Structure 1
Amino acid sequence: MFLKLTFSYDGSKFQGSATQPHKLSVQDTLAQALSHLGIYDKPLFASRTDKGVHAFNAVACIKTGEYFKDFVYLKNKINHFAHPFIHIKRIQKVQENFQVRFDVQKRAYRYIISHEKYNPFLASYVHFYPEINIKLAKEIIHLFEGEHDFKLFQKEGSDNKTSIRMMYKTRVYTYKNYTIFYFEANGFLRSQIRMMMASILKVLEGKMSQNELLEQINAKKAHCRFLAPASGLYLSKISYYNNA
């Protein structure tokens, strides 16, 4: 049978989510945990994240024998071997034709900025940055909404068939002494959000104009090719058609 796993992970402890020759990825670590339970097929992931990027609700699909009836027991057993940096939150049975990557309707990410004094113990989990103009930040982030060719917001070496993506929703809000940026789209290019965040911060700093940002959004001219730190980025949610 096929099972859908929803899980979180601490990206600072891995060399990215996708399998690596050195076996230090989230996918490799989860596969090793599953192998202790006699599940040897490699888990298939819905999304890839860069080194240092975290996940609240990542999704994977695994194939198992029919003998795993108690999903709560299975979840606890996987967590026994996957902890402390990967945690299975939920297990659901899905149809055999379920495509964990290609059936995705929306992906959502959050980028967390802290305005507190620098703390080395939190440096892997937020991006420390001075106070920002929240009203201006809301104006800037809304420029990304709609369908665009985001080819100037992807890391070099990407091999996507198309760089056109639909950005359904953006949002900026504050919580205590944090500012959180939210992005929801049908998909994201390699390092796209980190490059978008670097561009947003550059506009907030007055080092780039909104018109220049629009030129880059409209794929006319690149004005910022930097990446914001991975530490502040979290895969927040993955939604499927038919609520799979």
Structure 2
Amino acid sequence: MRLRIDLAYDGTDFHGWATQPALRTVQGELEAALETVVRAPERPAVVVAGRTDAGVHARGQVVHVDLDDDLVARSAGRGVDDPVPALARRLNGVLPPDVRVHRTRVAPEGFDARFSALWRRYAYRVADRAGVVDPLTRRHVLSWGQPVDETAMNAAAATLVGEQDFAAFCKKRPGATTIRTLLELSWTRRDDGVLVGTVVADAFCHNMVRALVGCLLTVGEGRRPATWAHEVLVGGRRDPAVQVVHPHGLVLEEVGYPDDAELALRAEQTRKVRTRG
């Protein structure tokens, strides 16, 4: 059976999501826990909605895994009517405290955690005033040394929304496209003074969110005009003036999927390499 697993993690002490030899990763911890709980003959391989970098956190991460029905049934023990929801409790019993499984369920037909996704929503949190910096939130809120103007940042952000080639904001990988559809990029200030950037796109390339945030913080400080962000975008190459901000302020908050009947079609469409126009 294919299972959908919803989970959260504090990325501080991880070397990112993806398994790496001799390094602690979220994928490595989750797959090891699955292997232990279901007593699989070999370690199960999970597929993730969004591979987060070292230090990035998640509240709404989604993965899928294919497991033998009998293994799942046996893992729950006797007297359990539905072994699939019980798997979440069993996993949390062996996972470290910086990873929590929220829910396990049978995935609908055609579901692929990565390719069926319509969008991913990230939040980036910034404390840009001395009175706002809270040492208790230092692991997930960036302390920024200068006050910034969110109105200017929103004006710059508006010029980046839509289907664009984000090569100027991405660490390019061989054979991979940098064309993405940015659905939302906006900034709001909470009542406690923390600035929250919301970034929603169909997908992200490597370092894209952190580079976008760095660019907009430069605008917010007044060191560049609001038009600069779009100038960087159309330049089509990495601008050394764009700072890639620290990862710890970034949280994957949610992944959105279509209705069950459209999951397989969405996955098929996503697998196609996109070009502009």
* Fold match by TM threshold 0.5: yes
Show the counterpart of 1:93. 106
Using structure 1 for the length normalisation, give the TM-score.
0.91
Describe the superposition over 1:124-153 as per-residue Cα deviations: whole angstroms up to 9, x where unpaired: 211012432222222122222111110010
Q: CA deviation at 1:74?
A: 1.2
User: What CA deviation, in whole Å up to 9, does each residue of 1:3-29 have, x standing for no partner?
Assistant: 001110001010001111114110001
Percent identity at matched positions? 24
2:205 matches 1:189: yes
Unpaired stretches in structure 1, ≥5 consecutive residues: none
* Cα distance in 1, alignment partners of residues 102 and 235 from structure 2: 39
Paired with 1:221 and 1:57, the residues of 2 have a C-alpha distance of 31
Shift of the 222–161 alpha-carbon distance from structure 1 to 2, 3 Å rule, reads closer
Residue number in structure 1 paired with 2:118: 105
Displacement of 1:201: 0.8
1:30 alignment partner in structure 2: 30
More helix by share: 2
The code of the aligned residue for 2:205 comes to: L
Q: State the aligned residue count.
A: 243
Q: Contact 1:23 / 1:29 at 8 angstroms: preserved in 2?
A: no
Query: TM-score, normalization: structure 2?
Result: 0.81
- Per mean C-alpha deviation after superposition, the further-off stretch among 169-178 and 18-27 is 169-178
Deviation at 1:192? 0.4
Give the conservation status (yes or no) of the 8 Å contact 1:150–1:163.
yes
Flag the 1:140–1:160 CA change in 2: closer, same or farther, 3 A: farther
The structure 1 residue matched to 2:161, chosen from 120, 145, 148, is: 145
Looking at structure 2, the residues matched to 65 and 220 of structure 1 have their Cα atoms a distance apart, in angstroms, of 47
Q: CA RMSD in A?
A: 2.0
Per-residue Cα deviation, 1:190-240 (whole angstroms, up to 9, x for no partner): 010101111001111222222332111223464434211111000111111
Q: Which residue number in structure 1 is paired with residue 20 of structure 2? A: 20
CA distance in 1 between partners of 2:4 and 2:10 (Å): 20
Give unmatched runs, 5+ long, in structure 2. 77-81, 264-277
Deviations 1:60-119 (A, max 9, x none): 111223226333321111011113011111212114642221111111110011244555
Amino acid at match of 2:112: Q
* Structure 2 CA distance for aligned equivalents of residues 220 and 163 of structure 1: 10
Q: Does 2:65 match 1:62?
A: yes
In the alignment, the residues of structure 2 paired with residue 155 and residue 147 of structure 1 have an alpha-carbon distance, to the nearest angstrom, of 18
Select between 61-70 and 16-25 the one with higher mean Cα deviation. Answer: 61-70
Select 2:142's aligned residue among 102, 127, 133. 127
**Does the aligned pair in 1 maintain the 2:152–2:219 contact within 8 Å?**
no
What is the aligned partner in structure 2 of residue 210 from structure 1?
226
Which whole-Å deviations, capped at 9, do the CAs of 1:167-194 have from their partners, x for residues lacking one?
1122211222211000111111101010
